[in-house]
Amino acid sequence: MYLLFYTDNLPENSNGCANAFIIRIRPSCKGDEGLLAHERVHVSQWWRTLGLHSLLYLVSKRYRLRAEVEAYRKQLEYPHPRYSQDQLRELYAGWLSAAGWVEGYDLQDICTKEQAFALLA
């Protein structure tokens, strides 16, 4: 169960975001079933943890990595109009291993791009 809103009120580097059971997606990404599936995984994670997902995501890099790998694996189940599955895995692996919150998920000290690529298989 979730509420979905189409808005540009999102972080600059994001096309979608889930907070608790609320999903926000950029209007330009309406119809991107993979992105919606990714955000729905985060909502499921929130429900599964009885709301602790938000806190765990912020304080534990290992939890954040597991949460994003689960969400990106779901997103990879949906075809993309411009990218192959391997290209998407490469892109997502780059985001997972990039330094800082602006470039990625700030997981570079626990996950290399090669490790992230393997996790997304």
> Along the 121 residues of the chain, how does pLDDT read in single tens digits?
999 999 999 988 899 999 999 999 999 999 999 999 999 999 999 999 999 999 999 999 999 999 999 999 999 999 999 999 999 999 999 999 998 766 789 999 999 999 999 999 9
Q: Amino acid letter at 14?
A: S
Structural domain including 105 reads 3-119
Confidence at residue 77, expressed as pLDDT on a 0 to 100 scale: 98
pLDDT of residue 100: 75
Query: How far is the C-alpha of 18 from the C-alpha of 11, rounded, in Å?
Result: 12
In total, how many domains does the chain have? 1
Q: What was the pLDDT predicted at 53?
A: 98
* pLDDT for residue 101: 67
How far apart, in Å, are the Cα atoms of 72 and each of 9, 23, 69?
22, 16, 5
The pLDDT of residue 91:
95
